[in-house]
Amino acid sequence: MAEGRQTPIEISKEDFRKIGYQLIDSISEFISTIENRPVTSGESPKHLQQILGSTSLPDKGRPVVEIISQATDLLFKHSLFNGHPKFLGYITSSPAPIGALADLLAASVNPNVGAQILSPIATEIEKQTVQWLSEFIGLPSGYGGILVSGGNMANFTAFIAGLKTKAPANIKEDGLSSVREKLVLYCSKTTHTWIEKAVVLFGLGSRAIRWIDTDSSNRMDIMVLEQAIKNDLTDGLKPIMVIGTAGDVSTGAVDDLSAIASVCKSYDLWFHIDGAYGIPAAVIPELKGMFEGLHDADSIALDPHKWLYSPLEAGCTLVKEPGHLSDTYSSHPAYYNFSQNEEGSSLNYYEYGFQNSRGFRALKVWMTLQQVGRSGYIDMISEDIELSKLLFKRANDHPELEAVTQNLSIATLRYVPLDLKDGADKEVYLNKLNESLLNDLQKGGEVFISNAIVNGKYCLRGCIVNFRTTKNDIDEIVQIIVREGRRISKTIH
Ligand SMILES: Cc1ncc(COP(=O)(O)O)c(C=O)c1O
């Protein structure tokens, strides 16, 4: 510590040790008792604001021990715990405990992984992490990429590289307005909402999206895709990209990637795969066939904070030719002395994506990958899939539940009261009933699931990216759904 300088921010070595150990004790107690807590406190924002109070920022600081104790108490009492075994909502995993330790270590050293000179070992660890992730999903060597905050950013990062590469003009220098033809791109109707942000952010506009119909398995209809491309070409438009989804957010369906790849080859289009959720399942030998075509993708989005169980935030963009990222994002301002090292040119991650200063999110992914190993992941991902199949089966076997879909680790189902009569408004009633059921379940704290609309049916949706969920949890979740379904069906007409 600097002699002679007293600042209100430094913590003495003794205090850091003492308070840090206390915090670690509280966290380990929290993790080991998480299943006995409600999944969520379900409190209203107003109630939470009252707990926090409305005082202004204090002029004078407070002791660290008090602040940590307050923050710990607030978080443990008033959070939703996606590490709870009965959390099956959206696509957020139980976080690997080693990731929490990794974040503490990363923040303590605080490397800026924008430039190699500012993060010597961290840059190499990120590079190795990217290489391991691409090996993990079975890609050949040579792929490059970057870690980003999550699925949206991973898709955006790839999207602009594809746009820049396939646009019929030098848009990096001359901008999109130098392109005469209207640029269009193709994705299935199940594509995650990131695409809607992408076309607004990057100047194409939402009319550039061709939403391709899906078949009965929720996969992109390839005949419709090809016809749409032909129609656009006839109309003088410029197709640039097809986005395939490997694990759609609602039902987990994986598009026919190999068919999309051959369409992209025929029409010289960029092939991007949004595998933010589902692509880790490509590690399972029996599922390899489902992901055929992966190798032909120009870019892939993959989220360690989904099915690799990393704590938020960790996404990854992989590209077949790393030069596509640097061609898109690289610039060399005079104030950066970053370009060279003794071995030649430096790997500076600011040249591969959106961010300039970058945190060391790779560390938690790198550490978790090593703790678990390939075979550990094969076991956990396979078990998640089996649990999802069990949820579907339990729903199928239950007279008051309708099992709707099951793909990867996502099952959808709905509650259907036994005495429900057929009639014109039956579907409207069921949608209303299941929506109310979901709202109550989400607030109740016993289980957290989410929803999906499948062929017009409002469904309950369980997505298992959770290494804590057991068969017993699935059985109890089914009982809770039926119990609450019965209760709510009495109140809704
Ligand atoms: C298929 C898919 N793509 C993209 C995203 C967006 O990911 P994120 O929320 O990490 O930005 C999601 C989120 O669930 C997803 O399921």
Q: Residue 309 C-alpha to ligand 1 middle, in angstroms?
A: 14
Give CA–CA dist 85/206, Å, rounded: 39
Pairing of strands 270-274, 299-302: parallel
Using CB atoms within 10 Å of the CB of residue 242, give its burial: 0 to 12 exposed, 13 to 18 middle, 19+ buried. Answer: buried
CA proximity to 199, closest of 210, 189, 188 = 210
pLDDT tens track for 467-477: 999 999 999 99
| Ligand 1 atom with minimal separation from the 154 CA | 11
Cβ atoms of 368 and 376 within 8 Å: the answer is: no
pLDDT at 349: 97
154 lines ligand 1 (CB under 6 A): no
CA proximity to 490, closest of 389, 420, 394 = 420
pLDDT at 424: 82
249 lines ligand 1 (CB under 6 A): yes
pLDDT at 23: 98
pLDDT at 478: 98
Task: Give 404's Cβ-side CA count (13 Å radius).
Answer: 24
Cβ atoms of 160 and 202 within 8 Å: the answer is: yes
Q: Residue 6 C-alpha to ligand 1 middle, in angstroms?
A: 45
**What would the DSSP string read from start to end of 302-316?**
E-HHHHT-PPS--EE
Bridge partners (DSSP) of residue 317 are 146, 301
pLDDT at 333: 84
159 lines ligand 1 (CB under 6 A): no
Question: What's the angle, vertex CA 394, arms to CA 391 and CA 396, rounded to 5?
Answer: 105
User: Residue ranges of the chain with pLDDT lower than 70?
Assistant: 1-3, 341-342
Distances (CA, A) of 272 to 241, 303, 408, 413: 7, 15, 20, 30
Give CA–CA dist 245/272, Å, rounded: 9
255 lines ligand 1 (CB under 6 A): no
Mutate to test the pocket of ligand 1, among 192, 305, 306 (most ligand atoms within 8 A of CB): 192
Amino acid at 58: P
Q: Residue 258 C-alpha to ligand 1 middle, in angstroms?
A: 22
Tell me the pTM: 0.97
pLDDT at 2: 52
Give CA–CA dist 493/488, Å, rounded: 10
The residue contributing the CA closest to ligand 1 atom 6 is 151
